[in-house]
Each structure stands twice: as structure tokens, then as C-alpha cells.
């Protein structure tokens, strides 16, 4: 079965600083990959998804970007963080577009 | 507006009681999934029910799906303190989608020992 790793687990960054969150997947090949953000006490909002290397689709216009340099690596980035970027970021993978999505442990980002 | 909405927003019960959470959605779906999230942790997948299914069981969990009413319910029987968590339903749309999950706001369940 697949295992999803995310790091760092927590991150505190000043406004205007860059961001790089990494997600790697083990135990499956050519997965669909997703980045979600969860605001405090709320459900998850899809930010980006990828069906293959170099293929990124954005769901919500924002200050963030995503890249998929390798089959099982998904990176979330920002050049300049905003206060509103604070939240809990979750990476997920699935085998097919309608299959179960499995989530990583998440990264809690606080922008001060 | 939100595709999935859970009801109630919060539920507090005694250990041993059953907990029922409901989810409503607006558009046709391919499947509906239920997840559990412990405080500050990632999501754990519980059950996936497809649009042509009406009921699924997994241990103490029972999920029903009524596509005519666009609703689903999650029943946890004989609850335990360890079931304390937030529960989310998420839908995968029926067509033209990327497999993205559209989440509700969740139900916070507290099981008192």
C-alpha cells in the first residue's frame, strides 16, 4: 500500500519569505497527486492536482504554485508568503481519478 | 457553494452509544467518501461508496447513500472514546472532473468515556 511523506511537519515563516513544501509517495507508481489546504476548523480545499510529471492544474487562483519534478514527488511553493497562506497543507494521492485518495500527515504553516 | 455539507456540525455522545452523521450534496457524483481526522493530523479514509451502491459496512461503520435525495449518512455503532475526531464527507463529481474531492465542513464528534 502507498505511504505519503510530507515535510516539514510544522513551519513558521515571516510574511514575504519563500516557501517549499515537499510530498513524496511510496508504494505506487504514476499516481494522481493533490495538494489541499485546510483552514482552522474547516474542510479541505483543493489547491493543485497532477496526473503526471510536469502536469499541474490549479484549482484556485492564489499566491502558491506546484511542481511535479518526479513521478512520486509533489512540491508546493511560494515566492512571497502572505498572512492568508497560513493553514494546514495536506498532500494526497490516488491511483485513478475516482479512486480513494490517501492523505499524508500534513504540514502546519504559520505565516507571521 | 459547498458541494458537501455535514449535519450536525458537532455531536457529543456517551461511550457505547451510536453516532449518526449526515452529508448532503448538490450535483451528481461518481462516489462519496468518508474520512476521519484526529486533531491536527492527516485524514484517514474510512469508506468509499459508489453512486450505484446504497449501503456499505466496515466494522462498526455503516454508510448509506441515497442519490435521489443527494444525501449520505455515516453510522458509528457502539462508539468508543477513540472515535472522538472530526468526520468529513467528500464527493467525486460524476463527470468532467479530475478526481478532486469536494469536502464538507465536517462533523466534530466527541465520545465521552
In chain B, where do the E strands start and end? 5-7, 10-14, 19-24, 29-37, 43-50, 55-58, 61-66, 71-76, 85-93, 101-103, 107-112
The share of chain A scoring above pLDDT 70, in percent, equals 99
Minimal CA–CA distance to A25: which of A89, A96, A103? A103
Minimal CA–CA distance to A80: which of A14, A36, A23? A14
Q: What is the separation of C-alpha B99 from the centre of its chain, rounded to a whole number of angstroms? A: 18
CB contact under 8 A, A106 and B42: yes
The share of chain A scoring above pLDDT 90, in percent, equals 77
A26 touches chain B (CB under 8 A): no
Residue A82 confidence (pLDDT): 95
Cell numbers linked to B107 = 462533523
Maximum CA pair distance of chain A? 39
Q: Is the pLDDT of residue B104 over 90?
A: no
CB contact under 8 A, A103 and B45: yes
Q: Is the pLDDT of residue A84 over 80?
A: yes
Q: State the average pLDDT over residues B103-112.
A: 93
Residues of A in contact with B88 (CB under 8 A): 43-44
Minimum-distance CB partner of B45 among A32, A46, A100 = A100
Cell numbers linked to A20 = 517549499
DSSP designation for A100: P
Sheet holding A19-26, edge to edge: A3-7, A19-26, A73-78, A65-70
Q: Is the pLDDT of residue B97 over 70?
A: no
Minimum-distance CB partner of B101 among A42, A101, A108 = A101
Q: State the average pLDDT over residues B61-88.
A: 96
Model confidence over A12-48: pLDDT tens digits? 999 999 999 999 999 998 999 999 999 877 788 899 9
Paired with A26 in beta bridges are: A3
Amino acid at each position: 500500500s502507498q505511504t505519503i511523506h510530507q515535510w516539514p511537519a510544522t513551519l513558521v515563516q515571516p510574511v514575504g519569505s519563500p516557501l517549499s513544501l515537499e510530498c513524496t509517495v511510496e508504494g505506487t507508481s504514476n499516481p494522481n497527486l493533490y495538494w489541499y489546504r485546510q483552514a482552522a476548523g474547516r474542510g479541505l480545499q483543493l489547491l493543485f492536482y497532477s496526473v503526471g510529471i510536469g502536469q499541474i492544474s490549479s484549482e484556485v487562483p492564489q499566491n502558491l504554485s506546484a511542481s511535479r519534478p518526479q513521478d512520486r514527488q509533489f512540491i508546493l511553493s511560494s515566492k512571497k508568503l502572505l498572512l492568508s497562506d497560513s493553514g494546514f497543507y495536506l498532500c494526497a494521492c490516488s491511483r485513478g481519478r475516482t479512486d480513494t485518495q490517501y492523505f499524508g500527515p500534513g504540514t502546519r504553516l504559520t505565516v507571521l | 457553494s459547498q458541494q458537501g455539507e455535514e449535519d450536525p456540525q458537532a455531536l457529543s455522545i456517551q461511550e457505547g452509544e451510536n453516532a449518526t452523521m449526515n452529508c448532503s450534496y448538490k450535483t451528481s457524483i461518481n462516489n462519496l467518501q468518508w474520512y476521519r481526522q484526529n486533531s491536527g493530523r492527516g485524514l484517514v479514509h474510512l469508506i468509499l461508496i459508489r453512486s450505484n451502491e446504497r449501503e456499505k459496512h466496515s466494522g462498526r461503520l455503516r454508510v448509506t447513500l441515497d442519490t435521489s435525495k443527494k444525501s449520505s449518512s455515516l453510522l458509528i455503532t457502539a462508539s468508543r472514546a477513540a472515535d472522538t475526531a472530526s468526520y468529513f464527507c467528500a464527493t467525486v463529481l460524476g463527470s468532467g472532473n479530475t478526481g478532486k474531492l469536494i469536502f464538507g465542513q465536517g462533523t466534530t464528534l466527541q465520545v465521552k468515556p
